[in-house]
């Protein structure tokens, strides 16, 4: 996640820099998207493994929203 935070910081720096170009923003955005995807894949893969091993009732019990009635 540190990389994603650094990518966001880079976007802020680009925004504040008068000479930043559209290409600069495009490259920074592409890098951010790639790093965000890479950081989320382990979470999504773990979710898929849990989903395959649980029944719907177990899933609902574990992930129920405390605000739901």
**DSSP secondary structure, 2-57, as one string:** HHHHHHHHHHHHHHH-TT--HHHHHHHHHHHHHHHHHHHHHHHHHHHHHHHHS-HH
Position 17 pLDDT exceeds 70: yes
How many structural domains are present in the chain? 1
Q: What's the pTM value of the predicted model, to 2 decimals?
A: 0.68
pLDDT at residue 57, rounded to an integer: 94
pLDDT at 22: 97
Residues 38-69: tens digit of each pLDDT: 999 999 999 999 999 999 999 999 988 887 75
The answer as to whether 26 is a domain residue is yes
pLDDT at 1 over 60: yes
Range of the domain at 12: 2-63
41, part of any domain: yes
Query: Does 8 reside within a domain?
Result: yes
User: Would residue 68 count as lying in a domain?
Assistant: no
């Amino acid at each position: 996640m540190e990389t994603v935070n650094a990518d966001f910081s880079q976007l802020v720096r680009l925004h504040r820099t008068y000479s930043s170009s559209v290409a600069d923003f495009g490259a920074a955005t592409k890098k951010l998207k790639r790093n965000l995807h890479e950081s989320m894949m382990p979470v999504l893969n773990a979710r898929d493994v849990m989903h395959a091993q649980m029944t719907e009732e177990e899933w609902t019990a574990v992930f129920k929203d405390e605000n739901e009635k």
